[in-house]
Chains A and B, each alone.
Chain A
C-alpha cells in the first residue's frame, strides 16, 4: 500500500508512477496536443508530486490531486512555449444583423452523437476541430467541458477571473459549433 504521507520509498514511488502514468500521459496529450511535450509535462508533474507528497492531506483522492498537478504542469508548458500567433476567434463567433437578429441558416438535420462516435474519421475531425481553437480558448473548454473542472477551479488554474473563464468558454463553444457545422448538419459523413 502506498504511503501517501512522508517520503515515498522507491517501491511506493514505482507503484505511484506505474499506477497513474497512463491516464496522466493521456490527459497531457489532450491538453498539449504533442506527445513529446506531454511526456515532459508528465515527468514534471511526477517531480512536483514527489516533492508535494508530504503536503497531500487526503482531502481529495490521490487521482484528483495528481490530475490537478498534471494540468498545472501542462499549463506551465503551454506558457513556456513560444507563443504561436493565435488565429482570431471573432470570425467563428455568432453573427447578428443590424437589427440584432441572429443570422443562422436553417437547420433541417442535426447529426446524432452516435453517428459520429461510430466513425473513426468523424471522431478524428471533431478532435482536430477542438485542436484548431486558439489555445487560450481551447484550454478553457477542455478544462470545463471535458476534464470536469468548475468555473472557479478553472479560473484558479489559469490565474484569470471567473468572468473571463465564462467569456472564453462561451466563445470557444460557439466557435467550435461553427467549425463542426459541416459534420453537425450531416454534410460530411464518415
Chain B
C-alpha cells in the first residue's frame, strides 16, 4: 500500500468516525463554531462537543493554535501606540483643520 493510499484510507476512516460517533462533529462543522468558541459564546453542550473534536483531531488542533497566533500577531503589530509622536502630525494639517472650522 502506498503512503498516498494509506493517507486516503486514514482520511476516509476519520471522516466516517466523525460522522458516526455520538457527540462528534466533522472538521467542516467544527469550522462553523470557531468564532463563537473563541468569543465564549458556545453553550456548555456545544463547547464540550467542540472540545471533544479538538482532542481527537490533530489538524483542527493545530489549525486553531495557528488561528489564535494570527490574531495575537495582528493585534500586536497593529496595536495603536497611545502617544503618537507629535512630530508625525504636519502643522499644516492642524492649521487646515482650524481654518476649516473658522469658516
Binding site for B on A (CB under 8 A): 10, 13-14, 17-18, 21-23, 25-27, 30, 39, 42-43, 46-47, 50, 94, 96-104, 106-107, 110-111, 113, 116-117, 123, 126-127, 130, 141-142, 145-147, 151, 166, 169-170, 173-174, 176-177, 180-181, 183-184
Measured CB to CB, the nearest residue on chain B to A67 is B80
* Nearest CB in chain A: distance from B78 CB, A: 5
Interface size class of B (residues with CB under 8 A): 35 or more
B3: A residues at CB distance < 8 A: none
Instruction: Determine chain B's interface SS by DSSP, over half rule.
Output: helix
A176→B76 contact, CB < 8 A: no
**A173: which of B19, B60, B67 is its contact (CB, 8 Å)?**
B67
How far apart are the CA atoms of A188 and B72 in the complex, in Å? 18
Interface residues of B (CB under 8 A from A): 11-12, 14-16, 18-19, 26-31, 34-36, 39, 57-60, 62-63, 65-67, 69-86, 88-90, 93-94, 96-98, 100-102
Q: Which residues of B contact A169 (CB under 8 A)?
A: 35
Interface of A is mostly: helix
Q: Across the interface, which residues of A come within 8 angstroms of B57, CB to CB?
A: 102
Identify 13 new A-B residue pairs, CB closer than 8 A, beyond the known A102-B31, A145-B75, A184-B70. Answer: A13-B98, A14-B98, A21-B89, A22-B85, A43-B97, A99-B11, A102-B28, A110-B65, A113-B69, A117-B76, A127-B78, A174-B67, A184-B66
